[in-house]
Amino acid sequence: MNNLRKHHVTSGSYYISRNTALILQAFLGTCVGVALYDEEADVGGLIHLLLPEPASEGSSFQPGKYASTGFPIFLRALYDEGASKNRLKAFIAGGALVGPLASRDLHLDIGGRTVETVMRSMEEIQPIPQVALKILRLINEEEHDIKELTEEIRQDQVICAKTLKFCNSAVFGCIKKIESLEHALAFLGFKNLVKLAISTLMGNFYGRSDAGYSLCKGGLYHHAVGTAIISEKLANLTAKVKPGLAFTAGLLHDIGKVVLDQYIASAYPLFYRQLFEEETDFSAAEKTNLGIDHTQVGGDLAVRWSLPDSLIDTIRHHHKPENALRNFELTYIVYLADLLMSRFHAGLELERLSTETLSTKLGTIGFSTEKFSDIVDLIPAGVFKSEPELALTK
């Protein structure tokens, strides 16, 4: 038996085999696995079901995830391979969750099991490049050396190549070709060069998937860049925070979602229902389904990477800026920028921030509810372009 070939059946999928001896395995957790076998036809298979039925008409429909849609497909595939309904033997696994599943049943210790996996994922996740970390730390310093920062950017070939390509694109319509980083620096300006470098580096980190938190391809990244741009504009308006630091904090605020993204994908139907039908607080919905939220994970990740304290604090408390321990004005600015992105450009990802005590939060950084429409008007058109770097021209 130990020498048999094994095939892992992932959640939301099934596998069927005929005239082949192999072991089908699935790590069920809170899911339900159904194995069917027709001994006479020598046909069998296993389906790994996540939920009994789609949670909402608006949810991302993948029929293999649900018993109501996936199981009939699984049966039809078995029949097509020669299995007979009268000869099939069934084996069901999934512990206490076997049978009709209610929403409350799906909450049973899902979080406890997920947290352990998340912690392991944090150790294995590919860190952002060292050049990005160096730039982030230098930006946080009161007096940073332009020459030193430029030298750090120069060491990354991808950044240099993309910078030169961007400068020579139709966006600027340069008559003379820009061929060096020094020329690009003179053309773009130091601040735009740094923003372009950091955005490019973080683009590779955030990824461009359309699953999990994202509602479109690259939703996490585009939301992060939009929040960064608005944070910078708010910093300029308030004159309470360095604009470059605000841009960086906005870009990094959701790094915890990179770790949790794969787990949210599995819990998506229930998570979606809680957010948009039951109107559950975003962090509370994460904790209910995963046992932890992205602000906690992001803060821990920032500590592991030795990011500046100001960024760690903002990442950890951007949903509840009143809990910030230091640089609280920066945290409030990122909270407001994140809120503007989630409410006025909601098609990027499943962000949903609470607006409780919004007037108090606005007052903390010198704004009022009467001026809120003026703040909304700060959202630049460049945020909504397919290439967020175009916002650098605004």
Q: For residues 160 and 193, what is the distance between their CA atoms, to the nearest angstrom?
A: 10
Neighbours of 171 (CB within 10 A): 14
Neighbours of 281 (CB within 10 A): 17
Note down pLDDT in tens along the chain; length 394 residues: 556 788 888 777 899 998 888 888 887 656 788 999 999 999 999 998 877 766 544 444 577 777 888 888 999 999 999 999 889 998 888 744 333 434 444 443 444 445 555 656 656 565 566 666 667 666 666 555 667 767 777 766 666 777 777 777 655 656 667 777 777 777 777 777 777 777 776 776 776 555 678 777 778 888 888 898 889 889 988 888 888 888 889 988 998 988 888 777 767 777 877 877 777 888 888 888 888 889 999 998 888 887 888 889 999 999 999 998 888 899 999 999 998 888 776 667 778 777 778 888 888 888 877 777 777 766 655 554 444 444 454 4
Beta-strand pair 89-93/32-38: antiparallel
The residue count of the chain comes to 394
User: What is residue 126's DSSP assignment?
Assistant: P
pLDDT of residue 378: 67
Tally of CA atoms within 13 A in the half-sphere of 96 that contains its CB: 8
- H or E element in which residue 37 lies: strand 32-38
pLDDT of residue 43: 94
Q: For residues 314 and 87, what is the distance between their CA atoms, to the nearest angstrom?
A: 61
Place of tokens 């699935």: 26
Q: What one-letter code names the amino acid at 249?
A: A
Start-to-end CA distance of the chain, whole Å, equals 65
**CA 32 centroid distance within chain:** 26
pLDDT of residue 60: 44
pLDDT of residue 143: 55
Domains along the chain with CATH numbers:
5-101 (3.30.1330.200), 122-393 (1.10.3210.10)
**Torsional sign, CA 118, 124, 126, 127:** positive
- H or E element in which residue 272 lies: helix 268-276
CB 333 within 8 A of CB 231: yes
pLDDT of residue 263: 77
pLDDT of residue 142: 53
pLDDT of residue 329: 92
pLDDT of residue 262: 73
Place of tokens 């787990």: 263
CB 312 within 8 A of CB 299: yes
**Torsional sign, CA 116, 120, 126, 132:** positive
Q: For residues 235 and 143, what is the distance between their CA atoms, to the nearest angstrom?
A: 18
pTM (two decimals):
0.62
pLDDT of residue 102: 43
